[in-house]
Structures are given as C-alpha cells and as structure tokens.
Chain A
Amino acid sequence: MDNVYKPDLMEVTRVRQETPDVKAVSVRFLDSERASNFSFRVGQFGIFSAFGYGESTFNICSSSNWKDHIEFCFRKVGRVTEAFWKIEEKDVVGFRGPYGNGYPMEAWKGRDLIFLGGGIAMPPIRCAVWYALENRADYGEITVVYGARTVADLVFLDELDEWSKAERVRIIRCVDPGGETPDWKGEIGFVPHVFERAQVAAKNPVVLVIGPPIMIKNTLPILDKMGVKPASVYTSIENRMKCGIGKCGRCNVGPIYICKEGPVLTMEQLQGLPADY
C-alpha cells in the first residue's frame, strides 16, 4: 500500500548549534535510490520526525542545488524539538516531503532580490540566497537585511560573511536596540528601520520578508514608499501542521491550505486572506 504518511529514514550527518536554543541539522537519505530521485524547490518544507516523540514542520533550509543532503533548522520549544535537541551524528530521523509551493525562483529571474528576515526566520531565507548565489547570473542585485533581538540570537553568521564576499551582494546585520555587544560592528535597530536607513536602490525588486507579524506590518509601508507592489512582496507563513498534505484540516488561512497552496504567499494574496494565522 502506498502510505503517504510513511516517512523516509534519514541519517544525521551534521549538527551545528547556532544559538543557545537553535540548532541546524544536516540529514541524508538512508535509501540511496530515494536520494538520487529526490529533488525539491527552495521554500518548500518537510515534516521531520523524532521517533518516539512525533513530527514537526520545518522549512528545508538548504539550497536545492546541494544533492547529497538536506538541512533543517529549529528552535527548541516543545516536545519534538526537545527530542531533536539531543540528536547526534549517525542518529536516524524521519522526513516527509517536500511539501508546499516553494519560491518561484524561475519567475524571479532577472530581478533584484531583497531579503528581509528576523530571528529564526533566516533559515527559510538562507536557502533562497544560496540558490540565487549559485545561479548568480540569473539574478540582479542581492540585498539581505537580517536582524534579531540580540547578537546571540543571530544564526548562520558565518554564511552571511561568505555571502558578503560575492558580487553585487549587500549584507546588513542588525540587532534590536539594547541587544548589541560591545564589539558589535553591525547596525542597531529593528529590521524595518534598518532597511529604510539602508536606502536600498533597487529597480523593480522582488522582496522576500519573513518574520514576526509586527515586523512585516512595519516593513510594508516602507516598501510601498519604494514603489514595490504587494504582488512583488513574498512571505512564508507558518501555521500549525500535522499531515502536510492538505487533509487534516488544521493549517488553513481562510480557503488557503498553507501546506499546499503555501507556505509562500505574496502580500497581495495575504492581504486578501482573513486574519487566521
């Protein structure tokens, strides 16, 4: 019987602790045939499981060009993530996916890309940035504004450094006022304000903004002033999920099932949806 709920078994190849409560995990398929057949689009998510504890939904935060493994990044907040916190290399976890609609990287070709992220929202941005850098000629100027409450809450800092060395890439890191350390060299301020101050000159950009609702709410007027239409502003919505395949009835925002017609939505779409997320 074709069991859509049955996970693939994955072996953990690397665990990196990014912050006191965030880890990034790399996994590879134990079944090599499945590994060679597998592909996904950046922006899609997977349902990862800790056997004995349950399943949890995370964005696949690695680039779709990396063929030998996939990555997910999580914050330790509940039953399943507490179990994930304890995993080490060679442990086995489950994976169902890829699910969701992913970013329309094809449609974004030729455009300038602006990525705005807050805190734990960097992982779903990271995969898109890597993809764009690996297909550098397809995209215009790339700007990343990434901030967190404190320096300790920033993730993938080493990769941000790497990105800033690529051509036509501008990386701006910031922390909330009061979150800086004495040797902090980045910006201080909330992401929307730092972005505004940065005066990013972009022609007809695509903007991917992911973060807490208040951050998104404060970013939209700034984009509006820049002349960016809501149809060019994208976000990735989080909602509680279980099946990931549009059946359990839990993740819908109005008529949109986040697991199938999302999680990537444009602002235009989101503004037409009820406040159900």
Chain B
Amino acid sequence: MSEIISQSTLRALAAEWIAGGKSVAGPARVKPDLVLYRRLRSVDDLLLEGFQRPANSIKEFLFPKAEKLYGYKIRGNSIELIENDSPQHAQVIIAARACDAAALPILDHVFNWDFHDEFYNRRRAATTVVTLACSAHDENCFCTSVGLDPGSERGSDAILFALGNGEYELRCATEKGRALFDGKTEKSDRTGKAIAGPEKKFDAQAVRTFVTAHFEDPFWQEHALTCIGCGTCAFSCPACHCFDIVDAGPAAGNARVKTWDSCQFSTFTAHASGHNPRPVQPARQRQRILHKFAIYPEKFGEILCTGCGNCTRNCPVGLGVLSVVTEINHG
C-alpha cells in the first residue's frame, strides 16, 4: 500500500502552510535561465518541474549567509550583550533534491562536534525537508560517485516520487514528515521510483588516497591555475560550511555576525603578521579537495560532498569538484 498525493493537493497544502505562518521554501524561477531555492511568498512561485536542480542549496535555510550571533550596547565602560530570543518558526523545504537533503546529516557532525551550534540545531529541528526524487540527471551530477543516488532518503523527512500525470507517491521517512502529511494523502498500489542516477565517474577512496599522499604535487599547480578564487563553489555547495565572524562596529549595527566564507579567498588563512600558509590558488584548491575527500571523512566518517554538481555548473571558469577529481582519477 502506498500513499499518493496530487500536485494540486501539494500546492494547496503549501499555500496553507504559508498562510499558517510556516516559512516555506522551494525552487522558484528567478530569471529565465535561473532557478533558486527561495522563501516562497506565494505557492504560485513554486516550481516543480522543468529544470535539473536549483543553482543554490537548501543549507541557507539552516545556515544563513548572515546570522546575527548577538548584538552589543556600549555605554562608557559597560557592555550589554543582546541576544535574539525570538522563537524559531517552523520551516518546510519543499522539492529539495536528494543531494541537498543528504548534506544535512553530514553537516550535523561539524556543528555538534563537542560544541553545539544551536543556531544550526534549532533551525534543523524546526525544518521539515520534503525531497522530490530526481527524474533526470545532467553531465555535472555525480551523486553516485560519493555514495548517494537520486532516490536516497538521507536527511529527508518525506520523499515524493513522480508518477506522471501530476501525481506523486509520498514516502514519509520520519515523524516530522508524517506529521506534515497526515491525512492528506490517498492510498494506492502505484509506486514510483527515482531514476538510476549517473554512472560512477570516479572512485572516492582513490581520491582520498591520492590527496593524502600528494600534498606537494605539481598536480595542484596544473589543475588550479584557472581558478579565479571566488566563493561561488563554496557558497552554492550544500555541504560547504566554512564561515567568518565579523564585527563591523556601530556603522553595521553593533553586532557580531556569522557569515559564509570560502577557502578559495586569498585572505582566508592570512595571518595578521602577513604570513599566509596558503598563499597561492593551487594550495587553496588543494585544501578544498582535501577537506571534502580526506579530512572530513577522517574526522567524521563522511565525504563532505553529495555530488550535486552545483560547483561545476556555477563555476565561472568551468572548474568544480568533478573536473578536478576526474583528473586525479585519470592521472
């Protein structure tokens, strides 16, 4: 016995959630050739088909690009710290991809490693992720090379499988998912399934072995020369989580703000003394691959990559994890 929901019911539900004060995010068309996950003002903006995947990831709903950690008031010698105690609103992310949802349990590790980042945890607890299983993949996808596949349920609270003619099979993976859809589906004997996924494009373990053993290697120089050192790959990646803490003083409202940062920026590791352990772009590219394929697996047992392909699609100069890692496998 399976559960079926029609697209119109789904949209009506989403409209209810929005009207009821839940924050609902999903893919929306921003420009003729650009689809992004956005907070939806109206369910009419929700886009369910006609594109591979949004150019950003769902991490921004759990780990915002700018998060105020606390404010402070300076009065002479005294400082008053002002925290935001407002309650966390419930959030639904609808039509996420498997490669977005799977990044959440991966990120859970680093945000709870001894110290618990409650900014992330609170949002995570308040968010229900409804994944839409992929019905296509493009040449930039490589989820199957990092241990995932288009039908993966990791990190999802509920998954929709397209059945055609505007209907989906709904599988609830968690209590949160069940709570959201309770009583809203119809019973059926039809089931859907995700597509098989792209062929494996590289061996992740071989990549880990290579990068660990080849820290100093002309490979990095050769393959990173065209990297221009922006933050596009890191910022559109579902798993990248490096951040900065900035205090821009009174002109910026007297607050400490956690903001996204990228290991590709030239000043990422620059010391105040002027010393920079990673002074050239090849060293920074190396760090990215090492972090994802060797360091994070060593520390937390997971590859810090879900094979979504955003980095490669968005990179202004055609680099990205896939292009570098396939070179490793070929070399």
A–B direct touch in complex (beta carbons closer than 8 A): yes
Q: Which residues of A contact B (CB under 8 A)?
A: 1-7, 9, 49, 51-55, 77-78, 81, 90-92, 94, 238-240, 242-243, 245-250, 252-255, 257, 260, 274-277
Point out the residue from A2, A3, A92, A245 that lies within 8 Å of B69, measured CB to CB.
A3
Known: A1-B85, A247-B111. A242 touches B77 (CB 8 A): no
Instruction: Check B83–A248 contact: CB distance below 8 A.
Output: no
Instruction: Check B72–A3 contact: CB distance below 8 A.
Output: no
- B122 vs chain A, min Cβ distance (A): 7
**In this assembly, does B181 line the interface, its C-beta being within 8 Å of a C-beta of chain A?**
no
- B68 vs chain A, min Cβ distance (A): 10
Q: Which residues of B contact A (CB under 8 A)?
A: 69-70, 72, 74, 77-79, 81, 83, 85, 110-111, 113-119, 122, 215-216, 241-247, 249-250, 254, 256, 258, 261, 263, 268-273, 277-278, 287, 290-291, 294-295, 298-299
User: Known pairs A1-B119, A77-B273, A260-B113. 8 more at Cβ < 8 A?
Assistant: A54-B245, A55-B247, A94-B79, A239-B271, A245-B115, A252-B291, A254-B290, A276-B277
Which chain B residues lie closer than 8 Å to A274 at the CB level?
215-216
A-B contact pairs, 26 of them (CB 8 A): A2-B116, A2-B118, A3-B119, A5-B69, A5-B258, A6-B81, A51-B254, A52-B74, A52-B250, A52-B254, A54-B246, A239-B271, A242-B261, A245-B113, A245-B115, A246-B110, A246-B114, A247-B113, A247-B117, A247-B243, A249-B291, A254-B215, A255-B295, A255-B299, A257-B299, A274-B216
Which chain B residues lie closer than 8 Å to A3 at the CB level?
69-70, 83, 118-119
Instruction: Check A92–B245 contact: CB distance below 8 A.
Output: no
Instruction: Check B268–A9 contact: CB distance below 8 A.
Output: no
Known: A92-B78, A240-B269. A249 touches B241 (CB 8 A): yes
Instruction: Check A248–B272 contact: CB distance below 8 A.
Output: no
Instruction: Check B271–A238 contact: CB distance below 8 A.
Output: yes
Cα–Cα distance between A5 and B81 once the two chains are bound (Å):
12
Instruction: Check B277–A9 contact: CB distance below 8 A.
Output: no
Closest residue on chain B to residue A77 by CB atoms: B272
- A102 vs chain B, min Cβ distance (A): 15
Closest residue on chain A to residue B234 by CB atoms: A249
Instruction: Check B118–A249 contact: CB distance below 8 A.
Output: no
Instruction: Check A277–B247 contact: CB distance below 8 A.
Output: no
Point out the residue from A4, A275, A276 that lies within 8 Å of B118, measured CB to CB.
A4
Cα–Cα distance between A53 and B113 once the two chains are bound (Å):
28
Which chain B residues lie closer than 8 Å to A77 at the CB level?
272-273
Closest residue on chain B to residue A9 by CB atoms: B79
Cα–Cα distance between A246 and B299 once the two chains are bound (Å):
11
A-B contact count (CB 8 A): 127
Which chain B residues lie closer than 8 Å to A255 at the CB level?
294-295, 298-299
Cα–Cα distance between A94 and B80 once the two chains are bound (Å):
11
Instruction: Check A6–B247 contact: CB distance below 8 A.
Output: no
Point out the residue from A92, A238, A250, A275 that lies within 8 Å of B268, measured CB to CB.
A250
Which chain A residues lie closer than 8 Å to B216 at the CB level?
274-275
Point out the residue from B241, B246, B277, B278 that lies within 8 Å of A247, measured CB to CB.
B241
Known: A78-B272, A246-B113, A247-B117. A5 touches B70 (CB 8 A): yes
- A277 vs chain B, min Cβ distance (A): 5
- B237 vs chain A, min Cβ distance (A): 12
State the majority secondary structure of interface residues on A.
loop
Cα–Cα distance between A277 and B287 once the two chains are bound (Å):
12
Instruction: Check A6–B249 contact: CB distance below 8 A.
Output: no
Point out the residue from A51, A246, A248 that lies within 8 Å of B79, measured CB to CB.
A51
Instruction: Check A4–B81 contact: CB distance below 8 A.
Output: no
Instruction: Check B254–A91 contact: CB distance below 8 A.
Output: no
Known: A1-B83, A3-B69, A240-B270. A53 touches B118 (CB 8 A): no
Instruction: Check B245–A5 contact: CB distance below 8 A.
Output: yes
Instruction: Check B268–A90 contact: CB distance below 8 A.
Output: no
Which chain B residues lie closer than 8 Å to A239 at the CB level?
269, 271, 277
Cα–Cα distance between A274 and B290 once the two chains are bound (Å):
11
- Counting from the closest, the 8 A-B pairs by CB-CB distance are A249-B242, A78-B272, A274-B215, A245-B115, A54-B247, A52-B249, A77-B272, A5-B69
Point out the residue from B83, B242, B270 that lies within 8 Å of A6, measured CB to CB.
B83
Which chain B residues lie closer than 8 Å to A253 at the CB level?
277
- B235 vs chain A, min Cβ distance (A): 13
Closest residue on chain B to residue A11 by CB atoms: B77
- B133 vs chain A, min Cβ distance (A): 31
- A256 vs chain B, min Cβ distance (A): 9
Instruction: Check B115–A92 contact: CB distance below 8 A.
Output: no
Point out the residue from A54, A245, A276 that lies within 8 Å of B278, measured CB to CB.
A276
Instruction: Check B114–A260 contact: CB distance below 8 A.
Output: yes
Which chain B residues lie closer than 8 Å to A55 at the CB level?
245, 247, 256
Cα–Cα distance between A253 and B243 once the two chains are bound (Å):
17
- B97 vs chain A, min Cβ distance (A): 24
Closest residue on chain A to residue B297 by CB atoms: A255
Which chain A residues lie closer than 8 Å to B256 at the CB level?
5, 49, 55
Closest residue on chain B to residue A120 by CB atoms: B273
Which chain B residues lie closer than 8 Å to A52 at the CB level?
72, 74, 247, 249-250, 254
- A58 vs chain B, min Cβ distance (A): 12
Cα–Cα distance between A238 and B261 once the two chains are bound (Å):
20
Cα–Cα distance between A139 and B295 once the two chains are bound (Å):
37
Cα–Cα distance between A257 and B245 once the two chains are bound (Å):
18
Which chain A residues lie closer than 8 Å to B277 at the CB level?
239, 253, 275-277
Closest residue on chain A to residue B85 by CB atoms: A1
Point out the residue from A248, A254, A257 that lies within 8 Å of B242, measured CB to CB.
A248
Closest residue on chain B to residue A256 by CB atoms: B295
